[in-house]
């Protein structure tokens, strides 16, 4: 019943419609029509629109994680790589603002196996982003700041965009990206010499491959009520 | 029936318990016991725990907005003021991580009058934070970056904390604050001379009292489905 590639096409179509019309305003009928299918045929693949949300989210994150990997392994300075990583991330956030806002609201009500799937996708993305920051710290191009927390600061600033960004506002996505790059990269760049920073990093016993200080990888696993369930599912 | 000051005491007690036990794990009985009241007496003030959420949120935001106002009008450089504003904000986020995470999930299901109340509280806070950034841009101590978007970047980086911060993790709140200050302030500081930046700001016709470029004040008012309802209710 399922043809290879057809499910991916379904996810991409759903994502495009969620982006263009918003998740709530998109119906299964809309998705079927856009794919040239009868609505009934969609039910070979998914039971409901809600069943598309997590796979579409994972699919998006995985695509962007691959882009981060390309960026990390490309030629160029750490600064150039991080510029591309931030620009890519901001573009993803702007393109999928609706889905990210939705995700924040819905994640806690997902069944545990879906939460775990989302968590794994987020972690894979975050680790790749962090690796780019870490490269710059290791070469001394960036300051000897904790790469994990620096990455979370940058991702957080970007991830907050759906709370305030309005398409067609007076500042274009490019202008916002330029401001973000200016602010975030200047703070990270180590103007005071490469080797000094590298040495101080190792003196501080904050080896680049240590676990991120202060950031537990699965905070959701520990107690203290409702709020901390979210922490383990942190979006990218 | 309502005594002056008693309602504020109720909000503070509820906030403290939400913080200590989490919102979900806190019962009306817990709140009554902490105030030395019978549970029935609470119902003179509120109908349900949910009725405490928005007032408690507003009350917290308003308190912190007053602190920002004190910081803005205090003596000191823009850098010192912004350091205090960021540290204050991070502390609020860490203290109330549970409430902020809850807010993000619940805000869309609030009735319109409560959303408006929350929106007004958020806007008042954001405007005060932005004013501190703007002071630094006006004096040339900061780069001539758009103060509204710079403020949203900083607030966003901080507001993302509940997604990844774990109390008792390897990095203390103070260490996280230090890293944030290092990264965010260095990027903002104008090392290249005060007056140059001030002039270029005015040449670019981005006068400090203009509306924030690209950031509409009430994006929720315009269409495009569900996602954009959130934008107008952006948390602090």
> Cβ contacts of residue A54 below 8 Å, gap of 6+?
A110, A114, A117, A118
Of residues B86 and A224, more confidence is placed in: B86
Of residues B135 and A110, more confidence is placed in: B135
| pLDDT, mean over chain B | 79
Highest mean pLDDT among A47-51, A147-151, B116-120: A147-151
Specify the range with the lowest mean pLDDT, choosing from A180-189, B111-120, B149-158. Answer: B111-120
Instruction: Give CA–CA dist A180/B145, Å, rounded.
Output: 10
Contact A227 B187 (CB under 8 A): no
Q: Which superfamily is assigned to A49-231 in CATH?
A: Tetracycline Repressor, domain 2 (1.10.357.10)
Nearest C-alpha neighbor of B212 from the set B132, B130, B156, B89: B130
Contact A160 B159 (CB under 8 A): yes
pLDDT mean over A89-118: 82
**Is B126 in contact with B194 (CB distance < 8 Å)?**
no
Specify the range with the lowest mean pLDDT, choosing from A54-63, A76-85, A119-128, B213-222. Answer: B213-222
Chain B: residue whose CA lies nearest to A96 = B227
What distance in Å separates residue A44's CA from the closest CA in chain B?
Answer: 27
Nearest to B157 among A22, A157, A216 (CB): A157
The domain made up of B1-48 is a member of CATH 3.40.50.2000: no
Nearest to A176 among B155, B165, B214 (CB): B214
Of residues A199 and B99, more confidence is placed in: B99
Chain A: residue whose CA lies nearest to B181 = A187
Instruction: Give CA–CA dist A131/A156, Å, rounded.
Output: 16
A158 touches chain B (CB under 8 A): yes
Q: Maximum distance among all alpha carbons in chain A?
A: 64
**Is B61 in contact with B122 (CB distance < 8 Å)?**
yes
Q: Give A150-204 pLDDT, tens digit per residue.
A: 999 999 999 999 888 888 888 999 999 999 999 999 989 987 544 444 444 444 4
Instruction: Give CA–CA dist B165/B169, Å, rounded.
Output: 8
pLDDT mean over B129-145: 95
Q: Is pLDDT above 80 for A208?
A: no
Q: Give B154-186 pLDDT, tens digit per residue.
A: 999 999 998 888 888 889 999 999 999 999 999
Q: Determine phi and psi for A142, rounding to 5 degrees.
A: -105, 160
Q: Is pLDDT above 90 for A90?
A: yes
pLDDT attached to residue A217: 40
Instruction: Give the confidence band of B3 by pLDDT, cuts at 50, 70, 90.
Output: low
Contact A157 B156 (CB under 8 A): yes
B89 touches chain A (CB under 8 A): no
Contact A98 B222 (CB under 8 A): no
A192 touches chain B (CB under 8 A): no
Q: What percentage of chain B exceeds 90 in pLDDT?
A: 44
pLDDT attached to residue B112: 87
pLDDT attached to residue B83: 97
A117 touches chain B (CB under 8 A): no
What distance in Å separates residue B120's CA from the closest CA in chain A?
Answer: 14
Nearest to B105 among A108, A175, A235 (CB): A108
User: Using CB atoms and an 8 Å cut-off, which of residues 195-214 of chain B contact chain A?
Assistant: 211-214
Specify the range with the lowest mean pLDDT, choosing from A138-142, A192-196, B129-133, B219-223. Answer: B219-223
Instruction: Give CA–CA dist A157/B111, Å, rounded.
Output: 28
B145 touches chain A (CB under 8 A): yes
Q: What percentage of chain B exceeds 70 in pLDDT?
A: 79
Nearest C-alpha neighbor of A99 from the set A63, A133, A142, A50: A50
Q: Is pLDDT above 70 for B41?
A: yes
CB count, 10 Å around CB of B174?
11
pLDDT attached to residue A4: 58
Q: Is pLDDT above 90 for A33?
A: yes
Of residues B98 and B180, more confidence is placed in: B180
What distance in Å separates residue B128's CA from the closest CA in chain A?
Answer: 16
pLDDT attached to residue A198: 40
pLDDT attached to residue B138: 95
Q: Is pLDDT above 90 for B66?
A: yes
pLDDT mean over B224-229: 29
Q: Is pLDDT above 80 for A63?
A: yes
For an interface test with B, give the residue of A163, A177, A217 to mutate (most B CBs within 10 A).
A163
Q: Is pLDDT above 50 for B228?
A: no
| pLDDT, mean over chain A | 79
Of residues A203 and B50, more confidence is placed in: B50
Domain ranges of chain A: 1-48, 49-231
What distance in Å separates residue B4's CA from the closest CA in chain A?
Answer: 31
CB count, 10 Å around CB of A204?
11
Complex ipTM tops 0.85: no
List the structure tokens of B97.
Answer: 């991580």
DSSP string, B141-184: SB-S--HHHHHHHHHHHHHTGGGT--TTSSS-HHHHHHHHHHHH
Please name the residue ranges forming H helices in A140-226: 147-159, 173-188, 194-203
Alpha-carbon distances of A132 from A61, A102, B89, rounded to whole Å: 17, 28, 28
The domain made up of B54-231 is a member of CATH 1.10.30.50: no
pLDDT attached to residue A99: 78
């Amino acid at each position: 019943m399922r043809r290879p590639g057809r499910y991916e096409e379904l996810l991409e179509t759903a994502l495009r419609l969620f982006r263009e019309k918003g998740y709530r305003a998109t119906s299964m009928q809309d998705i079927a029509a856009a794919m040239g299918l009868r609505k009934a045929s969609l039910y070979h693949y998914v039971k409901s629109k809600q069943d598309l949300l997590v796979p579409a989210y994972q699919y998006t994150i995985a695509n962007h994680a691959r882009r981060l990997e390309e960026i990390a392994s490309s030629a160029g300075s750490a600064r150039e790589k991080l510029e591309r990583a931030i620009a890519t991330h901001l573009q993803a956030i702007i393109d999928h603002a609706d889905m990210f806002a939705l995700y924040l609201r819905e994640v806690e009500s997902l069944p545990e196996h879906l939460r775990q799937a989302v968590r794994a996708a987020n972690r894979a993305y975050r680790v790749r982003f962090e690796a780019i920051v870490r490269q710059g710290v290791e070469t001394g191009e960036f300051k000897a700041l904790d790469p994990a927390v620096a990455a979370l600061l940058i991702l957080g600033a970007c991830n907050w965009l759906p709370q305030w960004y309005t398409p067609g506002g007076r500042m274009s996505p490019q202008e916002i990206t330029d401001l973000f790059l200016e602010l975030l990269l200047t703070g990270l760049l180590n103007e005071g010499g490469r080797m000094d920073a590298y040495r101080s990093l190792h003196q501080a016993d904050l080896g680049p491959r240590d676990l991120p200080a202060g950031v537990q990888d699965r905070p959701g696993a520990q107690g203290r009520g409702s709020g901390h369930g979210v922490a383990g599912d942190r979006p990218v």
